[in-house]
Structure 1
């Protein structure tokens, strides 16, 4: 694939993510949710599960899908994590509110660090081989189960109705609103083929499991976060199938 073919699909995902973020902020003006719960709604609405995204890309579109999903991840993982860390730093109950605190939180975020290191290695044409590569392969295979186990351990079944409404709201934003916005943008830009399908798939996958870890570390509502991750993961089985099956590109 070429960067030119992927430019508009990537732009569609960036814009749809920013629109959903704006919807969440505007909605908070009316619903006036608690700060910690707001951070979980925000993460639930804008973050994506890269493991599920790459796995589905490979399953549905083969090697081209893997290459494209990596291209999308390289752009989106930095954007979504910077947004999430900044929101957590400002609204989280256990975080610093200063600019220096926000910058410190960004420099300590492992996903941002990993993405930047990966991009640097790619620019320098460096490759990991041999035993070290195999070690990272083993670690990557364990990442999704371990993250979901941590989420499951923090899952609370019984919640106040206001929190349940917020969880449903975040789930709808992630699984319905963002894909619909992305589909509209993809058609507006005239994008077609596998890159367009990958963009729509990106927008439809569930919330990232490591959002729960960030919520715990920076004073978010980790109980609500665990529920949002669980609900988006389970319901995405239906929504991803329906969305990809309904859109002709």
Structure 2
């Protein structure tokens, strides 16, 4: 894999995100309700359909699940602990800390699935679904625990577990895993309905990513933005690459996992910040800044990954 395939894979992602950014400013598409509905459609229905169909059909015998999970989860936990231990240095207050934490570990699932499919075809899409199934619960648990720093009353483990158990992405992955393990796979009748829904998830999701980009207070939060972006786009990929190499994860699963660890943080972090009392303006600025910087760092990270893992 050379630089050209990586850039070609990033091209449609970049164009769709930019198109979403422009589209929201055009007459007829400025309504917040329109984009809110599109986001809900993609997040609650289309993306779970994609994860379900991908996991249901993947040949798990060719994916070292334990090694891949360890290589993705361990670096994520290490980075999270590092942010917690240095929170007084990297964030001016606790709400800002929660946004830096989310910005350091969250990833945009739409971008990851799109890039993996473009670079590695059906195998890449299937492995990407597995990587998402591993990382989505992990980052949601860590992010939720981060908000425990803001609580003044008793915490609720039950509420945390309920939030994870009802996450549509988690449910899509679990349903796909059940279909895979039981041997049901994806029946042709189900495929005729689910495949078009799955195919629609990425373009609609990426348009929503672009429409959701906001640049609140970038100058006011410059230090936190720089630190969080450095952690997310360089430190976490570096640790993950080391883990993937040491654990000898095969090339395609390793590079797909590296893609997910190299992606800008997701807009779901903004929603969580607003709901739980985090610094929503900071996370919005992080999402915008990281998405732009990612277009520069991603090719470098993947080329280094190809050299070490290929």
Using the size of structure 1 for normalisation, the TM-score is 0.85
Equivalent residue, structure 2, for 1:151: 213
CA contact (8 A) 1:10 1:199 kept: no
Indicate yes or no: 2:292 matched with 1:230.
no
Measured after TM superposition, the shift of residue 82 of structure 1 is 2.0
| 1:21 pairs with 2:80 | yes
| Aligned match of 2:274 | 216
- Within a 5 Å distance, the mapping from 1:142-221 to structure 2 comes to 142-152=204-214, 155-157=215-217, 159-160=219-220, 163-221=221-279
Alpha-carbon separation, structure 1, partners of 2:258 and 2:90: 29
Q: Which is higher, the Rg of structure 1 or of structure 2? A: 2
- Tell me the distance in 2 between the aligned counterparts of 1:176 and 1:240: 9
| CA positional deviation for 1:9 | 2.9
In structure 2, relative to structure 1, the CA distance for the partners of 1:198 and 1:157 (3 Å cut) is same
Task: Report the counterpart of residue 120 of structure 2 in structure 1.
Answer: 61
* Corresponding residue SS for 1:129: helix
Please list, as runs of the form range in 1=range in 2, the aligned pairs for 1:8-87 lying within 5 A after superposition: 8-31=67-90, 33-87=92-146
Structure 2 unaligned residues grouped into runs of 5+: 1-58
Q: What is the alpha-carbon distance in structure 2 between the residues aligned to residue 222 and residue 179 of structure 1? A: 25
Aligned CA distance change for structure 1 residues 85 and 68 (closer, same or farther; 3 Å):
same
Contact 2:114 2:202 in 1 (8 A): no
Distance in 2, Cα, partners of 1:133 & 1:8:
30
Cα distance between partner residues in 2 of 1:35 and 1:169: 16
Partner of 2:192: 130
How far apart, in 1, do the equivalents of 2:154 and 2:171 lie?
Answer: 20
Q: Which residue of 2 aligns with 1:91?
A: 149
Change (3 A) 1:157 1:172: same
Structure 1, gaps ≥5 residues long: none
Q: CA RMSD in A?
A: 2.6
Residue by residue, what CA displacement relative to the aligned partner does 1:128-167 show, whole Å, maximum 9, x if unpaired? 3334553454355312322432333xx314542xx22111
